[in-house]
């Protein structure tokens, strides 16, 4: 904390509140997330091209590939 003492002393009350709010928010985000949730968030805004959409049903996938959440997401889009 020593390097920040001078900086903190020079801050206004409102600036200190912003810093504290940021620190509290960052601590709440430290909850471990499961891989499925991370993948869902990552692919939520994925745009599937018309070419890929047209090819659905034209490929052969192994059982492991079919069980993969990313593959399921693309096939169900």
- Residue pLDDT, tens place only, 6-53: 888 888 999 989 988 888 887 765 666 778 787 777 777 777 778 777
pTM exceeding 0.85: no
SS3 assignment, position 70: helix
Residue 30: its pLDDT value, please?
A: 60
Q: How far apart are CA 60 and CA 73, in angstroms?
A: 16
Q: At what angle do helices 69-76 and 35-43 cross, to 10 degrees?
A: 30
Residue 62: its pLDDT value, please?
A: 85
Write the CB contacts of 75 (distance below 8 Å, at least 6 apart in sequence): 56
Domain ranges of the chain: 1-31, 35-76
| Cβ proximity of 74 and 53 under 8 Å | no
């Amino acid at each position: 904390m020593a390097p920040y003492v001078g900086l903190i002393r020079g801050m206004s009350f409102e600036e200190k509140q912003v810093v504290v709010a940021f620190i509290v928010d960052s601590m709440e985000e430290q909850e471990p997330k499961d891989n499925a949730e991370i993948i869902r968030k990552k692919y939520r805004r994925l745009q599937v091209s018309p070419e890929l959409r047209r090819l659905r049903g034209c490929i052969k996938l192994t059982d492991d590939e079919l069980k993969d959440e990313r593959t399921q997401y693309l096939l169900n889009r």
